[in-house]
Structure 1
């Protein structure tokens, strides 16, 4: 069985490493957005807890 280097593969004309790089950047962006949303939710929950009797 012959092993292939990822740089030798292509999918729909796109070089897979370039596609992986794009996906990695998108993942990082989504992780950053998720972190911001979690902080907003935590702040809102703390505000609600502080206002509760």
Structure 2
């Protein structure tokens, strides 16, 4: 941590931030990510259907 001395003798500590990473445009989703998104959507729809059926 870097410590800075402010006016009046107070100390102020700042955390070190991680380095930034540049993400290139045009990155495609992997097959497993697509399958997880579809499965999550189906799970949500199923849960909504069960909730509607109960009520």
Q: TM-score, normalised by structure 2?
A: 0.47
Higher normalized contact order (CA 8 Å, seq sep 6+, divided by chain length): 2
Higher helix share: 1
Higher strand share: 2
Q: TM-score, normalised by structure 1?
A: 0.48
